[in-house]
Amino acid sequence: MRAFDTIYYRYHQVLYTYALKLIRNEDDASDIIQEIFIKLWGFSDMMPKKLNLKGYLYSMVRNRVFNFMRDNRTRLVNNYKIVIQNDMSIENEGFEKNEERLLSQQLDNAIDTLPPQQKQVAKLRRMGLSNREIAEKMNLSLNTVNIHHRKGVKALKKKLTRTIIITDNIMDMVRPAEKDIWDVLNDTASEETSAKVAEWFSGEEGQAWLSENSDLIFRLVENGKLKSASPIPSEEMLGLIHDRIRRIQKKKKFKSYLWRAAAVIIPLLAITLAWYDVSSMLGGGLLSENRTVSESTVLGEKKILVFQDGTKIHMNSEAVVKYPEHWGLRKREIALEGEAYFEVSKDRRRPFTVDIYGTVIKVTGTSFNVKAYPDDDLIDIVLTDGAITFEAEDREYALKPSERLTYSKSDKSVNISTMSHPDNASIWTKNILMFRNDSLQDVTKILGRWYGIRFIITDDSLLSRTFTFKTIQIPVRELLDEMEYISDLRFEMNGDTVIVSKK
């Protein structure tokens, strides 16, 4: 913990001040910094030695801040002492207050150039009528009015200069002067100027400006040219971080206790179930048929199976494991579809076999990872320790630790290679995602299974894009933001569907 605290004291002030400059709320900035350092603590032992820690922490804070700004538009503007109307309709009184600082004449001129019905809808909207009221007034269907409204807004965005941003409410806002923007970031602007800049920040143009100048803002904070206007709650934040870490550690200890309890219970179950093993040797259970049990996982789910002999099977998403209800005295058999990591208890008298689409892995006691999804041509096997034999097409292939075997279901070819880091094949069991020069097609397939989402790639030429990164399992939107940050791709999420396109 001492090394962790050293890292915290070295970087937290710059990171906190950077977050505070953009979201303008001490509690929100503190929450973000706590989240980032708790994540850092969670997988600090798995980070590469040559990691640029400052750059890594900055990118994490940056992504979290921009997520906050996107998801908390109203709160962001309130932080700058202004309330923005978010409703689809604009009340007359609210519009009149805004109209004093909007470029009404330029907007009116642009509306006059629209086709007749779009123009009428836009003018009625400016009068404060909702689309439903406009539909009744113009004797049109609500759907028709909605279409005219959307087309009108789209046309106005093209007609007006970049100094105006048009929202669905047909409100416009002027881009602040560059001096005013930096005065706000320096905490030297008036409340009125801060309000205008905050509202602009919440729009597309302001977000783009922040994105373009994010690195510069961070450097100015780091160099002391942009300072926090209020004291940094260093000890309070660290105390809260320590409290949350202790709660996480307690949960881990409780899980460890459960495993120790299981270690006592499982042998007792093994003794009890030995009677059933004898019954299976006599042609089936004495009291019932030795039926086949099927365990499966759905998208986004993982599961651990623990057998009476102590063998563990870690199942990844969309995996199926089938096995007899009672293992016999001479063999232990299972069948697999999907991906699983095996920790097989040693028992030479009862070899352990895994059936995979007509091929067989024979084991006595070892650890290995198998990836064999129905829609994948390759069966991928990586041996961590021990020894296994792979059988296919009347041939046997012996594997040694750190070796990887791939088998093509289509052409029956086999390839064996040596891995420098065989544990990476099963790193998913620790809820860690790892990609090394993997194509976008493979990455999205894996992410789809992990998060239960569907990817639509708009251009086949993007499929060859490759990704190399390692991360713990984080919320999918945060992960997609990090992928956007390191690539030239955009990931737009709509429900459980993600549209992938070029920026």
Average pLDDT, rounded, for the chain: 77
How confident is the model at residue 201, as a pLDDT? 75
Residue 170, classed as helix, strand or coil, is coil
List the one residue out of 92, 93, 126, 94 whose CA is nearest residue 112: 126
Inter-residue contact 246 to 298 (CB < 8 Å): no
Window from 190-204, 208-222, 352-366, 367-381 with minimum mean pLDDT = 190-204
Inter-residue contact 40 to 255 (CB < 8 Å): no
List the one residue out of 402, 485, 495, 498 whose CA is nearest residue 447: 498
Could you report the per-residue pLDDT of 427-453, keeping only the tens digit for each? Answer: 898 888 889 889 999 999 999 998 889
List the one residue out of 163, 219, 221 whose CA is nearest residue 187: 221
Window from 18-22, 294-298, 366-370 with minimum mean pLDDT = 18-22
How confident is the model at residue 456, as a pLDDT? 94
Window from 49-63, 244-258, 267-281, 291-305 with minimum mean pLDDT = 267-281
* CATH 3.55.50.30 boundaries in the chain: 431-502
* CATH 2.60.120.1440 boundaries in the chain: 291-426
Question: Which of the listed CATH numbers 3.40.190.10, 1.10.3720.10, 2.60.40.1220, 1.10.10.10 matches domain 92-204?
Answer: 1.10.10.10
How confident is the model at residue 500, as a pLDDT? 94
How confident is the model at residue 9, as a pLDDT? 84
- As a whole number of angstroms, the distance between CA 382 and CA 144 comes to 59
User: How many percent of the chain have pLDDT more than 90?
Assistant: 20
What class, spelled out in words, does domain 431-502 have in CATH? alpha beta
- As a whole number of angstroms, the distance between CA 27 and CA 183 comes to 22
At 240, phi and psi to the nearest 5?
Answer: -65, -40
How confident is the model at residue 327, as a pLDDT? 74
DSSP-assigned states of every residue in 215-237: HHHHHHHHTTSS--SS---HHHH
How confident is the model at residue 195, as a pLDDT? 73
Per the structure block, which two tokens stand in for 302? Answer: 């993982």
Residues 6+ apart with CB under 8 A from 451: 299, 300, 476
Inter-residue contact 14 to 226 (CB < 8 Å): no
Inter-residue contact 80 to 192 (CB < 8 Å): no
Q: DSSP secondary-structure letter at 174? A: B
- As a whole number of angstroms, the distance between CA 176 and CA 298 comes to 50
- Please determine, for residue 89, whether its predicted confidence score (pLDDT) is greater than 80: no
How confident is the model at residue 320, as a pLDDT? 93
How confident is the model at residue 497, as a pLDDT? 93
Inter-residue contact 308 to 273 (CB < 8 Å): yes
* CATH 1.10.10.10 boundaries in the chain: 92-204
- Please determine, for residue 268, whether its predicted confidence score (pLDDT) is greater than 80: no
pLDDT top residue among 267 and 216 = 216
Window from 28-42, 213-227, 274-288, 361-375 with minimum mean pLDDT = 274-288
Q: Measuring CA to CA, how many Å separate 56 from each of 50, 52, 60, 64, 252? A: 11, 6, 6, 12, 26
Beta carbons within 10 angstroms of residue 358's beta carbon:
9
pTM of the shown model: 0.46
How confident is the model at residue 306, as a pLDDT? 83
Residues 6+ apart with CB under 8 A from 398: 387, 388, 389
- Please determine, for residue 181, whether its predicted confidence score (pLDDT) is greater than 70: yes
For the CA atoms of 20, 26, 27, 32, the dihedral, rounded to the nearest 10 degrees, stands at: 20
List the one residue out of 87, 84, 66 whose CA is nearest residue 173: 84
How confident is the model at residue 322, as a pLDDT? 92
- As a whole number of angstroms, the distance between CA 363 and CA 361 comes to 7
How confident is the model at residue 388, as a pLDDT? 92
| Max avg pLDDT among 242-246, 337-341, 483-487 | 337-341
How confident is the model at residue 287, as a pLDDT? 44
CATH of the domain spanning 291-426: 2.60.120.1440
How confident is the model at residue 369, as a pLDDT? 94
- As a whole number of angstroms, the distance between CA 425 and CA 41 comes to 23
Instruction: Taking residues 155-167, report their average pLDDT.
Output: 51
Per the structure block, which two tokens stand in for 177? Answer: 């002067």
- As a whole number of angstroms, the distance between CA 493 and CA 503 comes to 15
- Please determine, for residue 162, whether its predicted confidence score (pLDDT) is greater than 80: no
- Please determine, for residue 174, whether its predicted confidence score (pLDDT) is greater than 70: no
Inter-residue contact 367 to 386 (CB < 8 Å): yes
| Max avg pLDDT among 295-304, 396-405, 478-487 | 396-405
List the one residue out of 386, 390, 383 whose CA is nearest residue 425: 383
How confident is the model at residue 172, as a pLDDT? 39
